[in-house]
Structure 1
Amino acid sequence: MIEYLPRSKQHTELHLTQFGIEECIPSHFFGPAIRSHFLLHYILEGEGFFEVDGNRYRLQKGQGFLIYPDVVTYYQADSMNPWSYCWFGFEGTIAELLLKQAGLTRECPILNYNEDDKIYTYLKLMAESKGNHKAREIRLTGLLYLLLSLLAEYGPVMPTEQKESRAEIYVDKVKELVETNFAQKMTIEDIARIVGLNRSYLCSLFKQQMNTSIQEYLIRMRIHKACEMMENVELSIGDISRSVGYNDPLLFSKMFKKIKGTSPKHYRSENR
């Protein structure tokens, strides 16, 4: 069973390109060849080997291997106990980042998962989603996210050399929260709780990565958005103030002058 899917115009961050399952005959092989997307194989039964970048990995049930785009690979089923596997092809702007969170990289392409049969369950749900004509793409993308979250949950602890990228992940989460919720009454404690880190540690991490505090970043984001809104002449200064999270116009003017060096009214007249 195999199904190929068209490239998604809606889910550019992450989407399936194909999925399937195969019971291989003895010594069945593929390659050496490259793929144009990520391809994750998970072994359901049997054994075989996978070759990439000069390394050969002997694999069996409960393991899997990740193929990187545009990387030459070769894999072959065992001659006596050939494997059967399921696979998931996918791509997107955050695909590599999510794989790293699961401990899967080009340098570490081997998956180990013996917790349960959820990986195969997700494949079956993908196949059964054919009945969802209107919302199938959403369903498939959701299942792919569930699959990768499962691998991240039970994946290995990230190596020391990847700690910096882990810090960047948390900082990016803070930036996304601020950029999408700048108009809300959101405290640093709220942000730390959502991100899942201690407040002091998160503030220290953000300061180290961004060379500014979370509070300062939030203020500057609000003022930046306020400046954009001033191009709309139908919005009053009060409207803009409330729209960027300041119900008190005086506080808004104070923060605006601190960042821009002038009052909102004067800034608008000068830049009209």
Structure 2
Amino acid sequence: MDNNFHIFPSETFIDLCLYQYGHEKCTPGHLFGPATRNHYLFHYVLSGTGTLMATNSKGQNVNYQVRSGQGFMIFPGQITTYVADIQVPWEYVWVEFDGLRTTEILNVCGFSKDAPVYMAHSREARKKMADELIYISQNSEQSPFHLMGHFYLFADLLAQSVARPQPAATSKMSDYYIKEAINFIEQNFQNDISIEDVAAVCGINRSYLGRIFRTSTGRSPQEFLIHYRMTKAAELLKLTTLSIGDIGSAVGYENALHFSRAFKNVYGVSPRAWREQHR
């Protein structure tokens, strides 16, 4: 099996972030799974064919035949197995990603656990999208900002190629509220702020803010605030020699135990262990 596999060198992007990416030219019958993933994975089939076996929204296992020019989306926590055809095994490029704007991408493209297969309506946009995935897989030596630039181009072309945009879930006014909320969090995350404070800045109540925020980003305002703080904490752990307590204080946690607990909930390990792993 001819393949390349790369781990993205940064986890500090918030709207969208790459985690891993690669290219595989599978041998006949090559199988991966059953397995679950922590993030979203998109595979685009360059040639050949294969079968995706994935659980749907009801937990039922469904088989999908996927061929050249198509692709498939895998969701976090979804049980999947995929196997290359015996006669004409597939070759594909893939990206693992996540972030606050992921829900928006899925909605625009129409992906769900009940509809995981990618089928383009624009051949030109599909080809450009594939070119971006190939470029990412072949240029791992480029900087994280460079690769993320191409990943954003991929996401845009993915949406263009399906050519079936969904009606916006929020009005222009609610978009304004969300932008104001995010700006307030980004400028005040290091302070002792609450979601009531965020809602007050926007001039709306907490319940309405929570509803439109989750619709737009897939996360509650509280989850966004915690994730943003932990992302900033990870930057400080990696780039400075500040103590764990000082870093916790710098991202809004006066209690070091509370900070360590929140960090572990997001990253799966303690701040000290994360720093050791990323030195």
TM range (shorter): 0.5 to 0.7
Find the counterpart in structure 2 of residue 121 from structure 1.
131
Letter in 2 for 1:168: T
Matches of 1:169 and 1:78, distance apart in 2: 46
* Partner SS state of residue 105, structure 1: coil
Shift of 1:4: 1.2
* Partner SS state of residue 167, structure 1: coil
Shift of 1:177: 5.9
Aligned residue pairs, count: 175
Higher RCO (CA < 8 A, seq sep 6+):
2
Find the counterpart in structure 1 of residue 258 from structure 2.
none
Q: TM-score, normalised by structure 2?
A: 0.56
* Partner SS state of residue 168, structure 1: coil
Matches of 2:33 and 2:181, distance apart in 1: 45
Matches of 1:169 and 1:85, distance apart in 2: 38
Find the counterpart in structure 1 of residue 244 from structure 2.
none
> Identity of paired residues, percent?
30
Letter in 1 for 2:136: M
Q: 2:19 aligns with which of 11, 17, 20?
A: 17
When residues 115 and 31 of structure 1 are mapped into structure 2, their CA distance, relative to the original with a 3 A threshold, is same
Task: Note if 1:96 corresponds to 2:103.
Answer: yes
* Partner SS state of residue 123, structure 2: coil
After TM superposition, the structure 1 = structure 2 runs for residues 122-141 of structure 1, keeping only pairs within 5 Å, are 122-127=132-137, 129-132=139-142, 136-141=143-148
Task: Note if 1:2 corresponds to 2:5.
Answer: yes
Which one has a bigger Cα radius of gyration? Answer: 1
When residues 167 and 82 of structure 1 are mapped into structure 2, their CA distance, relative to the original with a 3 A threshold, is same
Matches of 1:56 and 1:169, distance apart in 2: 37
- Aligned 8 A contact 2:15 2:99 in 1: yes
Which stretch of structure 1 is more off in the superposition, 95-104 or 22-31? 95-104
Shift of 1:55: 1.1
RMSD: 2.7
Shift of 1:174: 3.5
Task: Note if 1:39 corresponds to 2:47.
Answer: no
Find the counterpart in structure 2 of residue 78 from structure 1.
85
Matches of 1:180 and 1:84, distance apart in 2: 40
- Aligned 8 A contact 2:45 2:91 in 1: yes
* Partner SS state of residue 170, structure 2: helix
When residues 171 and 70 of structure 1 are mapped into structure 2, their CA distance, relative to the original with a 3 A threshold, is farther
Find the counterpart in structure 2 of residue 174 from structure 1.
176
Shift of 1:2: 1.2
* Partner SS state of residue 86, structure 1: strand
When residues 60 and 145 of structure 1 are mapped into structure 2, their CA distance, relative to the original with a 3 A threshold, is same
Matches of 1:38 and 1:180, distance apart in 2: 23
The CA deviation string for residues 223-262 of structure 1, in whole angstroms up to 9 with x for no partner, is xxxxxxxxxxxxxxxxxxxxxxxxxxxxxxxxxxxxxxxx
User: Is there any run of 5+ residues in structure 2 with no aligned partner, and where?
Assistant: 56-60, 184-207, 210-279
Which stretch of structure 1 is more off in the superposition, 167-176 or 24-33? 167-176
Task: Note if 1:62 corresponds to 2:87.
Answer: no
